[in-house]
């Protein structure tokens, strides 16, 4: 009896793995295993802990104070504001722009499900886009970084005490940076869609600037890490080149402006910009997969026949993720977490979960599925994979630990983050000098300030996590880890009836 039972279970598991026909795509109600609404609130609150500049009266994370108030002054420009990317005090324009694009995409797809959080999500986007508008105010120059990362990393100090050089880096016609410029254009274009109804004047400003910045990116071609190598590498070196950003930027401008010139640009340049390359990693460096999913929407929902191929390109990405198909190229930990690399792996978990839920939405709308060889993969299957990844992040894992700070009973307490690990200005008003802070870096004590909502790099390939502050690859949070998670959590909170 036991043998036949286990055989039945085996067959059922295989059926689930390959995706049985999905007859329920009109009601995607899911059972909530987590308080997704609480996680959504916290995932957006995190961005307030990363703010640079003059903090507003409604700042909720009270342990942070004003910082970087003279940023840009060495070049006589105002570059106050924006976000610190991770646990340090540098403002890197490349990941900041990607963060803004993904926050905006989260709101575009799932903002209708965010209820009271929509306002906070818009504020998080605007904190980035206000800065990006300053950085692109001169039509022939884009300021892409404030701070010397090498000097910054030789200190462990609060942003409020910063005394390392606030070096200003720029790209221009002589020193191009199509990657960072086109990503900035994508961010401005995506945000213009977010603010179209709530603030039409701001939306028009963003759209106009996006057009200008994309033209600059396309005209002066080259990766920004060629000219700025000693400053941006190895931190945010452009490893994938700039072609992916040009395709991604054009896709967002097509969506934001509805100008046929961008559709023409995509049709003419898509192949040379790598539309059908099989690079299946989506993050701050490589945008190909995101561009494929975004352009497939125009085919699936707006019925733009000329973008038919992007459905195929998007499908091949999906097939690379599905365990048990011949196309699968994806590694999972024993506990079931998508595992791409040892350094800040959780960014791929959140970005992939977002793309799965977004593509499931497009497929459902157009009554389509994905075919991986002989295997049919339904929107329902994509949602279940995404939910499983988010649930792992929130605590359904071998360590029973949430990888979002402040969520759940057990979460990382020693994150690699200067402001969180040092006593706050209200607790310790005196300046803490550059090297004095290193005692906090190596201390075994929990961080005194809880950076609520921060999602960190996460466990290793064997589901292990030491919770050590010195281990930046596993313990450091980053804005681009959280940004796509905001959309995924909004969907899960709504579909489980919490919002």
pLDDT tens, per residue, the chain with 499 residues: 443 334 434 433 433 343 333 333 334 566 667 999 999 999 999 999 999 999 999 999 999 999 999 999 999 999 999 999 999 999 999 999 999 999 999 999 999 999 999 999 999 999 999 999 999 999 999 999 999 999 999 999 999 999 999 999 999 999 999 999 999 999 999 999 999 999 999 999 999 999 999 999 999 999 999 999 999 999 999 999 999 999 999 999 999 999 999 999 999 999 999 988 878 899 999 999 999 999 999 999 999 999 999 999 999 999 999 887 778 889 999 999 999 999 999 999 999 999 999 999 999 999 999 999 889 999 999 999 999 999 999 999 999 999 999 999 999 999 999 999 999 999 999 999 999 999 999 999 999 999 999 999 999 999 999 999 999 999 999 999 999 999 999 999 999 887 6
H or E stretch at 171: strand 168-172
**Per CATH, which fold does 28-288+404-495 belong to?**
Glycosyltransferase (1.50.10)
Find, among 161, 182, 160, the residue nearest to 93 by Cα.
Answer: 182
Indicate if 467 belongs to the active site: yes
From the candidates 38, 467, 494, 498, which is the catalytic residue? Answer: 467
Q: Which residue has the tokens 């490589």?
A: 286
Strand partners, 175: none
From the candidates 313, 476, 494, 498, which is the catalytic residue? Answer: 476
Give domain limits for the chain: 28-288+404-495
Task: Please spell the DSSP secondary structure of 306-362, one letter per residue.
Answer: GGHHHHHHHHHHHHHHSTTSTT---EE-TTS-EE--SSSTHHHHHHHHHHHHHHHHH
Q: Dump pLDDT digits (tens) for 168-222.
A: 999 999 999 999 999 999 999 999 999 999 999 999 999 999 999 999 999 999 9
- Tell how strand 338-339 and strand 331-332 pair up: antiparallel
Other beta carbons within 10 angstroms of residue 1's beta carbon come to 5
Q: Dump pLDDT digits (tens) for 41-84.
A: 999 999 999 999 999 999 999 999 999 999 999 999 999 999 99
From the candidates 416, 417, 494, 498, which is the catalytic residue? Answer: 416
């Amino acid at each position: 009896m036991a043998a036949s039972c286990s055989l039945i279970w085996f067959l059922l598991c295989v059926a689930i793995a390959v995706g049985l026909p999905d007859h329920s795509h009109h009601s995607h109600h899911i059972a909530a295993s987590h308080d997704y609404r609480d996680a959504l609130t916290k995932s957006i609150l995190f961005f307030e802990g990363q703010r640079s500049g003059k903090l507003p009266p409604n700042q909720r994370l009270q342990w942070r104070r004003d910082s970087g108030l003279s940023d840009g002054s060495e070049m006589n420009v105002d570059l106050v504001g924006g976000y610190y990317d991770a646990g340090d005090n540098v403002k890197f324009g490349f990941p900041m722009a990607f963060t803004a694009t993904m926050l905006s995409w989260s709101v575009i797809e799932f903002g209708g499900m965010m209820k009271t959080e929509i306002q906070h999500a818009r504020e998080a986007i605007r904190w980035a886009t206000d800065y990006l508008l300053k950085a692109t105010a001169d039509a022939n120059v884009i300021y892409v970084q404030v701070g010397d990362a090498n000097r910054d990393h030789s200190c462990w100090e609060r942003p409020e005490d910063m005394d390392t050089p606030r070096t200003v880096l720029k790209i221009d016609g002589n020193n191009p940076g199509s990657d960072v410029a086109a990503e900035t254009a994508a961010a401005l274009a995506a945000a213009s869609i977010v603010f179209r109804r709530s603030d039409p004047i701001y939306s028009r400003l963003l759209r106009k600037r996006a057009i200008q910045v994309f033209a600059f990116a396309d005209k002066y071609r080259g990766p920004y890490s060629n000219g700025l190598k000693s400053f941006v590498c190895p931190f945010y070196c452009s490893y994938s080149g700039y072609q992916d950003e040009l395709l991604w930027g054009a896709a967002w401008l097509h969506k934001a402006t509805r100008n046929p010139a961008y559709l023409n640009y995509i049709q003419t340049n898509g192949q040379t910009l790598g539309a059908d390359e099989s690079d299946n990693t989506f993050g701050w460096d490589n945008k190909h997969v995101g561009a494929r999913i975004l352009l497939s929407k125009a085919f699936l929902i707006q019925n733009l026949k000329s973008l038919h191929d992007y459905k195929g390109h998007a499908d091949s990405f999906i097939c690379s993720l599905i365990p048990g198909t011949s196309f699968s190229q994806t590694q999972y930990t024993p506990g079931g977490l998508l595992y791409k690399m040892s350094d800040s792996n959780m960014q791929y978990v959140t970005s992939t979960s977002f793309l799965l839920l977004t593509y499931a939405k497009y497929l459902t709308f157009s009554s389509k599925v994905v075919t991986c060889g002989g295997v049919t993969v339904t929107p329902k299957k994509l949602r279940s994979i995404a939910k499983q990844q988010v649930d792992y992040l929130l605590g359904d894992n071998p360590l029973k630990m949430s990888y979002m700070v402040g969520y759940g009973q057990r979460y990382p307490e020693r994150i690699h983050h200067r402001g969180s690990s040092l006593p706050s200005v209200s607790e310790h008003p005196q300046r803490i000098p550059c090297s004095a802070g290193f005692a906090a870096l190596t201390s075994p004590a929990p961080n005194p300030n809880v950076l609520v909502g921060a999602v960190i790099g996460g466990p290793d390939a064997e589901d292990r996590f030491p919770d050590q502050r010195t281990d930046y690859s596993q313990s450091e949070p980053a804005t681009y880890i959280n940004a796509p998670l905001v959309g995924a959590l909004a969907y899960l909170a709504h579909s489980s009836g919490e919002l």
